[in-house]
Structure 1
Amino acid sequence: MLSSEVVLSGRYRLDERVATGGMGDVWRASDLILGRQVAVKVLLPALVSDPDFIARFRAEARIMAALRHPGIVQVFDCGEDDLPDGGRADYLVMEFVAGEPLSKRIEAAGRLDVAETMSIVAQAAAALNAAHRGGIVHRDVKPGNLLVRPNGTLVLTDFGIARSDLVGQLTAAGSVLGTASYISPEQATGGVATH
C-alpha cells in the first residue's frame, strides 16, 4: 500500500495523494534528483499484473512524452519499482499542474460566464488538436480532466484511455471505457473514436 514518504526508484518521493481514478492514484511528489515538484500516477495493482497492459501503457507514455503543447500535461518519465510491502508499483511521472479541475470550478460557481467558457473551449480545442496531430485521441475529455491554473490557462490531463495511431488503443478490444456522460457515440457503441 502506498503512503506519503514512499520513494519510487530512489527518486520520486510521494508527498500527497491529489486524485484517485479508475486506473490509479495521482500523487503530488518531489523529484529528489532535479529538486522539483511533479505528479506521479501510480497504476492500480490489478492493472500492473497484466503484461500486455503495461506494454501498451509504456508505449503510450513514450508517445505522450513526445507531445509538446502548453495545453497538454507534459510526461517526464515512467517506471516500475518494488514496494516495501512486497507489491510492485508501475508509474508515470508528469508535470505538476497547480490549479483545480474545471469540474470543481463549475461546482463552486454554478456556471461560468460566457467569456471564461469560450476561453476554456478554445484552449481545450487547441490542446486536442495538438494531440490529434500527434496521432492521439484522448477519449475521456471531461471537466475533471481539464485543469485550470490560477491565471486561467487550461491543461488537458489523464490520457489513461487514449488511443494512439502508432500504438493502438490502451484498452482491450471491444471494451468500453470512459465517463458515460462524456463518451462519444462511437465509444458507446464499441466503435473506434477518431480525430
Structure 2
Amino acid sequence: MDTVVTDPAVGLVLEGRYRLEERLARGGMSTVYAATDLRLHRTVAVKVMAEHLAHDPAFVDRFTREARATAMLSHVNVVSVSDQGADQGLVFLVMELVRGRTLRDLLQARGRLTVGEAFAVLEPVLAGLTAAHRAGIAHRDVKPENVLISTDGQVKVADFGLARAVAGTGQTSHTGGVLIGTVAYLSPEQLERGRSDARSDVYAAGIMMYELLTGHPPYQGDTALAVAYQHVHHDVPAPSAEVPGVPWQVDELVTR
C-alpha cells in the first residue's frame, strides 16, 4: 500500500458517485484509490489514469472501448470492472476492490515459490485468462504486478485491456508494430511484429511460472533490447537447470 497520506485527489467525488477515500498504489500510468460508491453504498477501487493520458483523445477512445469489453467479463479469477468515466479532468475505471497484495509483492518477500505454491497461483491465473480468451479478450500484459492475491488467498488477474489502451503511447517493434506489454514477458511475435493474442498471454504465463520457481525471469539484460533479443532468439530454459528438484513435467510445461 502507498504510505503517502497527502493526495489532492482524496476526497473528490467523481461523477457525483465515487468518493475517493484512500490512495492505494501509484505508478507511471495510473493511481489506484479505495473509493465509496455513494449510490450503492459499497467500497470499490478506482483507477485514475495519468494526466498525460487523460489529455490524449485517442487514448480516451481506446480506454473507453477496452473498458466496455472488459466489463463483459465475469469470472472469479478476474478483477471485475463495473464502470468508467471522465470527470474534473480525470479519466477513471471503477473496479472490484481486492484487499491484499500483488504477486510481485509475494515474490519480493519470498524470493521464489515451491512447485506446489507456484501452481496454486498459476492455475487460477490460467482460469481467468481462459475465460477472457473465450470472450475474445487478450490481456497482453500478463506479469506478477497484474496478479492480485486477496487477504483470503484468492488469485485474480487485473488490468485486462489497459495495455492495449495505452499502446499508442508505447514503443514499436522493429517492423513498425506497436509493442504492448512489459518486455520481460513479451512473446517473440509481439517483439517481431507488434502483434499479440491469446497465445501471447500463454507465453507470458509460462515466463511468469519460470520466475515463480526461480525468483527471476529467464531473460535478463542491461537494456530492454537485450532482453527482447533473447525472447526472439533463445529457447526458454528449464527451471530445473537452476532449481534442482523441479519435476521434468514442470520443465516441459514452462519450455513448451
Per-residue deviation, residues 1-57 of structure 1 (Å, max 9, x unmatched): 842111111111111221223421111111111111111011111112222221111
**Contact 2:178 2:195 survives alignment (8 Å):** no
Q: How many residues align?
A: 184
Whichever structure has more helix as a proportion of its residues is 2
Matched, 1:78 2:79: no
Quote the offset at 1:170 in angstroms.
5.5
Q: 1:22 to 1:158 in 2, by over 3 A?
A: farther
* Aligned residue among 188, 192, 215 for 1:189: 192
Report the equivalent of 1:139.
140
Alpha-carbon distance between aligned partners in 1 of 2:109 and 2:146, rounded to the nearest angstrom: 17
Of all paired residues, the percent bearing the same amino acid is 45
Report the equivalent of 1:85.
none
- Structure with the bigger RCO (C-alpha within 8 Å, sep 6+) is 1
Whichever structure has more strand as a proportion of its residues is 1
Per-residue deviation, residues 104-141 of structure 1 (Å, max 9, x unmatched): 11111222222221111111111111111111111111
Report the equivalent of 1:180.
183
Matched, 1:161 2:167: no
Alpha-carbon distance between aligned partners in 2 of 1:149 and 1:62, rounded to the nearest angstrom: 25
Report the equivalent of 2:25.
19
State the one-letter code of the partner of 1:192: R
State the one-letter code of the partner of 2:93: L
Compare CA radii of gyration and give the structure with the larger one.
2
**Contact 2:9 2:20 survives alignment (8 Å):** yes
Quote the offset at 1:72 in angstroms.
0.6
Alpha-carbon distance between aligned partners in 1 of 2:32 and 2:186, rounded to the nearest angstrom: 22
Structure 2: state its 5+ residue gaps. 1-6, 169-175, 199-256
Alpha-carbon distance between aligned partners in 1 of 2:27 and 2:189, rounded to the nearest angstrom: 23
**Contact 2:180 2:194 survives alignment (8 Å):** no
Alpha-carbon distance between aligned partners in 1 of 2:56 and 2:159, rounded to the nearest angstrom: 20
**Contact 2:100 2:149 survives alignment (8 Å):** yes
> What is the TM-score normalised by the length of structure 2?
0.68
SS of residue in 1 equivalent to 2:183:
coil
Alpha-carbon distance between aligned partners in 2 of 1:191 and 1:116, rounded to the nearest angstrom: 33
Per-residue deviation, residues 83-108 of structure 1 (Å, max 9, x unmatched): xxxxx011110000111101111111
Q: Aligned-residue CA RMSD in angstroms?
A: 1.7
